[in-house]
Structure 1
Amino acid sequence: MSVDRLVVVGASLAGLRAVEAARKAGFEGAITLIGAEQHLPYDRPPLSKAFLEAGDDPEHPTFRTEQVLAEELGIDLVLGAPATGLDTGRQVVLVGDREIAYDALVIATGSNLRTLPGTEHLDGVHGLRTLDDGIAVRAALDAGARTVVVGAGFIGSEVASGARKRGLDVTVVEALQTPLVRATGDRMGAAIASLHERNGTPLLCGRTVVSVNGESRVESVVLDDGTVLPADLLVVGIGIIPATQWLEGSGLTVENGIVCDETLWTGVPGVYAAGDVASWHNPVMDERQRMENWTAAAEQGAAAARNAIDPENAKPYGTVPYFWSDWYDVRIQFVGSPDADEVVLVDGDPDADGRWVALYRRGERIIGALTVNGQTEIMKYRVMIQKGASWTEALEFAEKRKALAAQKAREREAAQV
């Protein structure tokens, strides 16, 4: 069957890359891009990083102008109107009372933030997922808000870092005894989390919020041990849920995201998924994954669109996962999977150094790598994981890099004498 109408649901990074890839592949049919927000597709990572820094109001991190999307890419934009249903039998996406027909469909609806029950009526309580969230949090920080962050994951920690850089009072509350276990494992999660204390940000682990006080606006946060934290701003970063509610009754398999095969196909004719919402078998890592990072969203959006418009030549999408995060003046980067049999620190000391490297072993191969201020290292390990390098090869490579760095340090010292 020919594909004349491509519909992409989700006007964020994955959705944008989908429509761009379709046009780049030579698709000349109609493309409709549906987005729940009024905003044009924009970049999310800056919202918890540079967007929160003190100074002049930052520009909105929009990817493309409306003119480029409409005229150069020929996209029919349907913004400010979330998809409300999917009829795979008739091949239509429901947007309220409107029906938008498709021959090929890419679902890139992303995810929704988990919230703290009982805080819906309070001003000053925010997640950080959308541009509107970023604007609200920035305004509160500009006003000097006493800040409490619930959740010591990457987004919450970046918000805490931004507040601390401004010299504001900020406390991070984490329900787990060790933060970032799912992302980096126990040992390295604790090492990364120590960055908060080093930068004067209290981190309260193993604590949960039992109530939030305030009549119309947050005034304080009460923890399960009785601690009361004064707050003008409460940022909730306790995870996300794939945005699949609108797919009820569609026939798609939904289990922690939309279940897809290696090509990002959902098993329903013409329907593919990409980004946070896609749970697919990653052939490179040989495991089912649902990835919540910028790189995956960009790559999957493009791959899903190419496969959707030419399903007979659909190609598997495989990758070595990669994410990064900026805390204070530190760049944290991770590649691969934290599901390892062993984690070995191969360079630096988290208790003393501003730079360190840890490698993750599964069986006899390297499966992951974590660097703190190791920007020159991380992509080399990503390539090794992609190629299926052995654990021995990875350790030998790490020793060579460490020796080379030591030699360069000696040469710099000698030059200064």
Structure 2
Amino acid sequence: MSEQGFVIVGASFAGAKAAETLRAEGFDGRVVLVGEESDLPYERPPLSKGYLLGNDPRESAFPHDAAWYADQRVELLLGHAATAVDRASKTVALADGSSVGYDKLLLATGSRVRRLDLPGADLPHVRYLRRIEESEALKAAFAERPRVVVVGAGWIGLETAAAARTAGCEVTVVELDTLPLRRVLGDEVAAVFRDLHTDHGVAFRFGVKTREIRPDGVVLETGEELPAGLVVVGVGIQPNVELAGAAGLAVDNGVVTDAGLRTSDPDIYACGDVASWEHPGLKRHLRVEHWANALNGGPAAAKAMLGRDVTYDPVPYFFTDQYDLGMEFAGWFEPGGYERVVFRGDPATREFVAFWTAGGQVLAGMNVNVWDVTDDIQAIVRAGWAGTTVDTDRLTDPDVPLADLHA
């Protein structure tokens, strides 16, 4: 190994976990972590959950403090955007004109928010949520109790709506689809989240586009004007693939990798939001934008960079906390790619487990205000991916232990 060592582009949670794993696995060479943001690597869930709500301190978002990076001899190049990767010379060019060489390179460049393209979208009271300073700005704005319009009823839109309502703001959510989260959860479970928010005083406008944003509100395509002192936009994210694409790496809805997170260049790896990896269990490429993929993908990529035999095949997992509802989801299916949703418990009580099935096989499961069942749900999902069918009557019977359904 030369003195160049390992370079991680993306001072993200995934990047931090990769650096941590390199040291834990005994790598003693140079480790450089390059990040466009000036903050230390942090986790993103607190930005729309505990930290935004004011329940958790700022420090809770950071997996390590500055002393940890110094102790572990991880070089931090923060506030330094990577502008190019030269695969021939094995160097990464930075925006300040400097460069850093690598023996192995990990791309953990993450994603950025999709922005609205309509009149008024650049007004100062239009906010997005991706970075920690944006969470801080939203928290401060909510404290003033403005009327809030949220554009987009995905996970970020709903979590920010819940935080705004908890702060005492009047909230209206505008969504092009007919229900919140319908594309990812289907009608049956999406209705649970609609009812949760309406019960807490959120108003919805479904099936309508935003036409214009004005200093005092939002105008819909129907002509309706919604008063707003604050507009929060949550219309999705897109992977930061430009660096990889310009370097000639394979890109297709993310940086394409094999099951070991290796790109089309054997010395370059990718993980986290930006990676579209070959998932052995699903037998397809998959790109996942949730926290658990950073938590697990960074370490997997680090081990692969060290020459370990890595097969990255997690059951995709995410969670949300909104008002008094806590949820964990495990599994994956294409939008609309299931036949039935079956429930263990009554969804009207908001204490249940839902299973998405096709051909008698479980594709995904969600536990809502039911705890310590995630491992069993993931095992049932893995069995379903492998072709095992389940008896629906037993699946929905709360007297049948979930462990008995994958034994």
TM-score normalised to the size of structure 1? 0.89
Q: Which residue number corresponds to residue 331 of structure 2?
A: 336
Relative to 1, partners in 2 of residues 1:397 and 1:98: Cα closer, same or farther, differing over 3 Å? farther
Aligned to 1:240: 237
Shift, 1:169, TM fit: 0.3
Q: Deviations over 1:8-60 (max 9, x none)?
A: 01111100010011111111110000111100011210111111225797546
Match of 1:383 among 379, 390, 394: 379
**Equivalence for 1:231:** 228
Supply the distance in 2 between the matched residues of 1:314 and 1:289 (Cα, whole angstroms): 20
Identify the range of structure 1 (339-348 vs 157-166) with the bigger mean alpha-carbon deviation. Answer: 339-348
Change (3 A) 1:203 1:301: same
Deviation at 1:391, TM superposition (A): 5.8
Query: Which deviates more, 52-61 or 301-310?
Result: 52-61
Aligned AA (1:361): T
1:368-401 deviations in Å (ceiling 9; x for gaps): 1122212233331112223447664363653453
C-alpha contact 2:85 2:247 (8 A) present in aligned 1: yes
Decide whether the 8 Å contact of 2:345 with 2:396 is kept in 1. no
Give, in angstroms, the shift of residue 3 of structure 1: 8.6
**Are the structure 2 counterparts of residues 81 and 404 from structure 1 closer, same or farther at C-alpha, using a change threshold of 3 Å?**
closer
Query: What SS does structure 2 have at the residue aligned with 1:255?
Result: coil
**For residues 44 and 344 of structure 1, what CA distance do their matches in structure 2 show?**
30
**What's the secondary structure of 1:197's corresponding residue?**
helix
Partner deviation per Cα, 1:205-241 (whole Å, 9 max, x = no partner): 1111111112xxxx21111111111111111100001
Q: SS at 1:401's partner residue?
A: coil
Q: Structure 1 residues 8, 391: closer, same or farther in 2, change over 3 A?
A: same
CA shift digits 1:226-276 (9 cap, x unpaired): 111111111110000101223342011111110111111111121000000
Q: Which amino acid aligns with 1:29?
A: G
- Does structure 1 conserve the Cα–Cα contact (< 8 Å) formed by 2:259 and 2:279? yes
- Cα deviation, 1:280-337, whole Å, max 9, x if unaligned, reads 1111222221001111111111111111122xx4311101111111111101221111
- The question of whether the paired residues in 1 share the 8 Å contact of 2:149 and 2:228 is answered with yes
> Aligned match of 2:272 in 271, 275, 298?
275
State how far apart, in whole Å, the 1-side matches of 2:298 and 2:38 are: 21
Counterpart-to-counterpart distance in 2, 1:93 and 1:233: 40
Q: Which residues in structure 2 correspond to 1:7-406 (within 5 Å)?
A: 7-54=7-54, 58-59=58-59, 61-71=61-71, 73-96=72-95, 97-117=97-117, 118-119=119-120, 121-214=122-215, 219-310=216-307, 313-339=308-334, 340-350=337-347, 352-388=348-384, 392-393=389-390, 395=392, 397-402=394-399
Alignment partners' CA distance in 1, 2:9 and 2:93 = 10
* Amino acid paired to 2:23: R
Amino acid across the alignment from 2:42: Y
Alpha carbons 1:244, 1:277 under 8 Å: kept: yes
* 8 Å Cα contact 2:244-2:255 kept in structure 1: no
Shift of residue 78, structure 1, vs aligned partner: 0.4
Match of 2:61, SS state, is coil
Task: Give the letter aligned to residue 171 of structure 1.
Answer: T
Give the percent of matched residue pairs that are identical in Structure 1 and Structure 2.
37
Gaps of 5+ in 2: 403-407
The answer to whether the Cα contact below 8 Å between 2:254 and 2:287 also exists between their aligned partners in 1 is yes
Paired residues of 1:42 and 1:61 also in contact (CA < 8 A): yes
Give distance in 2, aligned partners of 1:355 and 1:193: 16
Is 1:335–1:382's contact at 8 Å kept on the other side of the alignment?
A: yes
Aligned residue identity for 2:34: I
- Contact kept in structure 1, 2:345 and 2:398, CA below 8 Å: no
Letter in structure 1 aligned against 2:110: G
Aligned amino acid, residue 364 of structure 2: G
For the 8 Å contact 2:4–2:103, the answer to whether it is kept is yes
State the Cα deviation string for residues 119-153 of structure 1 (Å, max 9, x = none): 46421211111001001100100111211111111
Pairs aligned (count): 397
Moved more, 274-283 or 363-372: 363-372
Whichever residue aligns with residue 283 of structure 1, its letter is P
Find the aligned partners of 1:150 and 1:332 in 2 and give their Cα distance.
Answer: 23
Aligned in 2, Cα 1:106/1:58: closer, same or farther, shift over 3 Å? closer
Q: What SS does structure 2 have at the residue aligned with 1:369? A: strand
CA contact (8 A) 1:14 1:108 kept: yes
Moved more, 364-373 or 56-65: 56-65
Checking the alignment, whether the CA contact within 8 Å between 1:150 and 1:173 is kept in structure 2 is yes
> Aligned partners of 1:318 and 1:121: how far apart in 2?
41
Gaps of 5+ in 1: 406-417
| d(CA) in 1 for partners of 2:312, 2:391 | 25
Query: Alignment partner of 2:82: what SS?
Result: coil
Asked if 2 retains the 8 angstrom alpha-carbon contact of 1:345 and 1:359, the reply is: yes
Query: 2: distance between equivalents of 1:119 and 1:377?
Result: 46
RMSD, aligned α-carbons:
2.2
Counterpart of 1:336 in structure 2: which amino acid?
A: G
User: TM-score of the superposition, structure 2-length normalised?
Assistant: 0.91
